[in-house]
Structure 1
Amino acid sequence: MKNKILKVHPQDNVIVALTNLVAGETVQLGTETYVVLEDVSAKHKFATEDLQIGDEVTMYGVLVGKAQTPIFRGGLISTANLKHAAGTYQLGEQRSNWPAPQVNGFRERSFQGYHRADGKVGTANYWIVIPLVFCENRNLEVLREALVDDLGYGRKHSYRRQTRELVSLLRAGKSVEDILHADLDVETATFAKNDRLFPNVDGVKFLTHDGGCGGTRQDAQALCGLLAGYIVHPNVAGATVLSLGCQNAQVAMLKEEIAKRDPQLAKPLYVLEQQTVGTESALISEALKMTFAGLMQANQITRQPAPISKICLGLECGGSDGFSGISANPTVGYTSDLLVTLGGSVILSEFPELCGVEQELCDRCVDPPTAQRFSELMYTYNERAKAVGSGFDMNPSPGNIKDGLITDAIKSAGAAKKGGTSPVTAVLDYPEMVNKPGLNLLCTPGNDVESTTAEVGSGANVVVFTTGLGTPTGNPIAPVIKIATNTALARRMPDIIDFNTGSIIEGDETIEEAGKRLLEYVIAVASGEIEVAAVRHGQDDFIPWKRGVSL
């Protein structure tokens, strides 16, 4: 640890503790010396000057809160003395010049991907099975049971042996204490790619959900748009769709949404309606035959070289901490800038976590209509939240607050770093598709799974996901690269962390160096050379967003 403290921006009047500081400790940054008045845990902040009630607190160079009580120089910033506040914003002139980073060594690079008829390239090759309504979820589970294990896509880690051991201990007359202290084995099965019946297919994924009926017609339309995004997604070879028949989310609605995204859909799409087919056995038999036939077609596709510009990178964070905006998020931001320079696409979402940085993002939009759309979506979303007694200021979770993100503006200013510095080329409303290279802003909640689900539905074929506390979030069809903000987390949860940026906090690596290292990692994942933890564990999180209030 080369430094104990960090001032993120020259205009800030708070300083971040990079390690635990004790009351009375003297710390130095440049020519300034500070005496810490109380214990300050790593990731938390202290004031650089005396603050009175109502004084503005600035971090990342933007307003992040206002003092609720007097705060003395060296005093801890906490929820007891700071309340969320964010700066106002207005449409202004768009910035025309962007100093793109040097991409020497990457410009001629490629990845091994699955080429689709529409010109897009997948980083994986899945068959998906989709219910148009929650009533079909049970039939999907029947299909999963019938297909997955026999085709070689079962779980690599099973705990059934542990259950058998516990049953044996019970029958042997062991006590509750014996059971609690038993040393149990984990059964590990290896499913090599070449052992699969369809070695060129990465899996069959079942996208169960609780929508499709009972909500508003707008909910049904949005769900069909999201599902259409998954069907046309470059990581998907084809789909089996199960419909009940009477639900709001009709087959015609789904096909309409597919046509918006890919009018000449060339991949196999099989649709079955239970109320037309009749019995469950007839439905399942037809679905099995269709899915098996689809897998035969999908298996004919192999990885071929593709330019890096065909990567569409989803930018996500979850379980964030006070280091997120200092290490992992800026790293992702630099990687984003590299990819944009190379002609690729990136998606920054989680609109509740852009509160306070609206002015910067508006100024980065390529033209006034794009900035206007972003402004309108942010305003409408926040007003909807306020109407039900909430608001963007309610976004930070207890875990965020405990680890230093005590206001939404602090969280947002750090979260926005994932978007780098490139121009905003498009603003999308959920569940629209990405159709322009560059930085795309996508309106989604801050909820990890809802947002990741949406990014992939909009076209992300790889997702980078930063976390300071540890979260296992994944996606059924796109690899989700989990990035730790600190080395302690990477060591504590190595089973879910793929990439560590704690080296930045420790002073061993710059953001630019980590960003280049991350792009190399992304290319390897996109090529199928590295299997990320979420894929290994079958972490297939999928939650469509109903356009109500979700922060």
Structure 2
Amino acid sequence: MPADNAPKVIRIHPADDIVIACRQLVPGTVIAAEGVSVASLVPPGHKLAVRAIAAGAPVRRYNQIIGFARQPIAPGQHVHTHNLAMGEFTREYAAGADARATEYVDAPASFDGIKRADGSVATRNYIGILTSVNCSATVARAIADHFRRELRPEALAAFPNVDGVVALTHGAGCATDSEGENLRVLRRTLAGYARHPNFAAVLVVGLGCEANQIDGLLAEGDLAGMAGGPRLHAFNIQDSGGTAGAVARGVAIVQDLLADANRVSRQAVPASHITVGLQCGGSDGYSGLTANPALGAAVDLLVRHGGGAILSETPEIYGAEHLLTRRAASPAVAARLLERIRWWEDYCARNHGSMDNNPSAGNKAGGLTTILEKSLGAVAKSGTTNLVEVYEFAQPVRARGLVFMDTPGYDPVSATGQVAGGANLICFTTGRGSAYGCAPSPSLKLATNSALWQRQADDIDINCGDIVDGGASIAHKGEQIFRRMLETASGRKTKSELHGYGQNEFVPWSLGAVM
């Protein structure tokens, strides 16, 4: 519970029509600073009207439109799904209007990373088992299970520098157009993982007759140069005598890879080698007040130190995209972002959906009402630096600084695209409580409120709720997150890693028809 002297509500902007409840507000509670008396129960993180709002009028939070009044709203009333709805309005995109030159630090921070022969830098050191198709998933898992420390502690006892052997399987790879977008995106995703520096080596296991032939994967993923080398190996079950033979073959290959994988040591490298994927899941009314802006402050620090950050989840910037186009480094970057927004509008229309199908039930229970409100809070994760590039799902991220990758809002799919693009660290904010983890890139989870931190500290790495109830500043919390990024990139285990999360959270985006 917040301290007695903690504020009852938070006002974000002088022009806002609402304030956010910092605790449960019961009818009759007087909010003296706003000159209103609470008319009905308002849960923590939810919105309280502070002025009369006419039916059909826009409602503002962050001095931005989050929806339109379904009916007249009186001061002191709870503002939520019963009286607030989506609506159309014009955004001022003003490409590059707020773009500013980045002020880089004179002495960049460093972390203890693992340098690969190609010059890339890893934050972890895994051996990965990938699959071309769902039909080879069981074999891949059996190979990885042979080396699981909790099942067979002796398997990796002689290889302390290897973080583990993980199987990343999926449900696709066949019954799809062999020349279509769905297969191209899957291959691009698998190729990104195969190249990822956090894998010392990768084994790809196929069935043999699937649409996603390994040869096609190697060609379309531009992996041909790696095939047969020390970091990439592949075979089919049908060429290995079936299941038992394929498992034995895979175990033998991994066994031969372990000694080389173990010959690594961490050394100081610049923070510019960190690329962090930005995620928020199980968001609530506090997300845009605490964890997301604090993560944004950490992103600003990382960018000033030469690093990179990937903002994603296109449905969760919808209605706030104009805040990003204003920071675009060029009109072309702004145009590419808006093209992805239009693609999503069409995608929803042809699938008989709506962009406002997001937020989820849990988001709404936590105080978020429309996708406009959710997106405005989600964009805060990106900080304030320029948007320098826009990528499609799982494309290799080459630019440094803040970039955008087009992904769904579903966290496992979105983070899969970011890691395929090169993210070697994930930062994940949550208000309702997420149990997400990632392999091969570690995932830091940040709580938006202290109640969640107290209830689910076993899954959360940093509490940002003290921005509301403990007097911590966003800048101070951003510095704390940045330092934890460096520590995690240097090998400090996250809570999700300690729990063994990561193998089941690999979810490539499936776009096409299943035939």
Which band: TM-score by shorter chain? over 0.9
The partner residue of 1:440 within 400, 403, 416 is: 403
Letter of the 2:80 counterpart: S
Shift in Å, 1:144? 2.9
The yes-or-no answer on 1:356 pairing with 2:319 is yes
Residue 129 (str. 1) matches residue 122 (str. 2): no
CA separation of 1:394/1:199 partners in 2, compared to 1, >3 Å: closer, same or farther?
A: same
8 Å CA contact 1:319, 1:468 repeated in 2: yes
In structure 2, relative to structure 1, the CA distance for the partners of 1:377 and 1:93 (3 Å cut) is: closer
Distance in 1, matches of 2:121 and 2:13, equals: 39
| Cα distance, 1:100 vs structure 2 | 5.0
Return the alpha-carbon distance in structure 2 between the equivalents of residues 282 and 519 of structure 1: 47
Deviates more, 1:86-95 or 1:362-371: 86-95
The separation in 2 between residues aligned to 1:435 and 1:340, in whole angstroms, is 14
* Cα deviation digits, residues 462-484 of structure 1 (max 9, x gap): 10100011111111211110111
The 5 A counterparts of 1:56-95 are: 56-85=58-87, 87-89=89-91, 92-95=94-97
The answer for the alignment partner of 1:497 in structure 2 is 460
Would the aligned equivalents of 2:218 and 2:224 in 1 still touch at CA under 8 Å?
A: no
Task: Tell me the CA shift for residue 335 of structure 1.
Answer: 0.4
- Label 1:341 to 1:265 Cα distance change in 2 as closer, same or farther (>3 A): farther
Please tell me the residue identity of whatever aligns with 1:538: G
Cα distance in 2, alignment partners of residues 261 and 96 from structure 1: 43
In the alignment, is residue 211 of structure 1 matched against residue 162 of structure 2?
no
Correspondence 1:334 to 2:338: no
How much has 1:512 moved relative to structure 2?
0.2
1:302 corresponds to which residue?
265
Superposition pairs of residues 80-479 of structure 1, within 5 angstroms: 80-85=82-87, 87-89=89-91, 92-95=94-97, 97-98=99-100, 107-148=107-148, 152=149, 154=151, 196-216=157-177, 217-259=180-222, 267-479=230-442
Specify whether residues 103 and 154 from structure 1 end up closer, same or farther in structure 2 by C-alpha distance, changes over 3 A only: farther
Aligned-partner Cα distance in 1 for 2:496–2:118: 28
Secondary structure in 2 matching 1:259: coil
Partner of 2:204, secondary structure, is strand
Letter in 2 for 1:411: K
Distance 2:461 2:264 in 1: 28
Contact 2:438 2:501 in 1 (8 A): yes
Counterpart-to-counterpart distance in 1, 2:241 and 2:210? 16
| Segment drifting more, 247-256 vs 311-320 | 247-256
Q: Distance in 2 between matches of 1:264 and 1:61?
A: 54
1:112-153 Cα distance to aligned partner (Å, 9 max, x none) = 1111223221110000001100000111232133332xxx35
Q: Distance in 2 between matches of 1:261 and 1:82?
A: 54
Q: CA deviation at 1:283?
A: 2.1
1-structure distance, mates of 2:245, 2:228: 27
Alpha carbons 1:329, 1:466 under 8 Å: kept: yes
Q: Which range moves more in the overlay, 69-78 or 135-144? A: 135-144
CA pair 260-426 structure 1, distance change in 2 beyond 3 A: farther
Change (3 A) 1:338 1:78: same
User: Does the 8 A contact of 1:232 with 1:261 survive in 2?
Assistant: no
Distance of 2:95 and 2:349 partners within structure 1: 29
Q: CA deviation at 1:101?
A: 7.0
Matched, 1:7 2:7: no
Superimposed CA distance per residue, residues 335-364 of structure 1 (whole angstroms, 9 cap, x where no aligned partner): 001111111000000000001111111121
Shift of the 409–9 alpha-carbon distance from structure 1 to 2, 3 Å rule, reads same
Q: Is the 8 A contact 1:259 1:265 kept in 2?
A: no
The unaligned stretches of length 5 or more in structure 1 are: 156-190
Alpha-carbon deviations, 1:90-120, whole Å to 9, x = none?
Answer: 653413653757858xx34211111122322
Quote the Cα distance in structure 2 between the aligned partners of 1:348 and 1:442.
6
State the Cα RMSD in Å: 2.2
Which residue identity does 1:546 align to in structure 2? S
Unaligned ranges ≥5, structure 2: none
TM normalised by structure 1 equals 0.87
Residue type at the aligned position of 1:478? S
Bigger shift: residues 77-86 or 122-131: 77-86
Report the equivalent of 1:545.
509
1:258 to partner: Cα distance:
3.6
Distance 2:477 2:323 in 1: 24
**How far, CA to CA, are the matches of 1:318 and 1:147 in structure 2?**
31
Does the 8 Å contact 1:329/1:417 carry over to 2?
A: yes
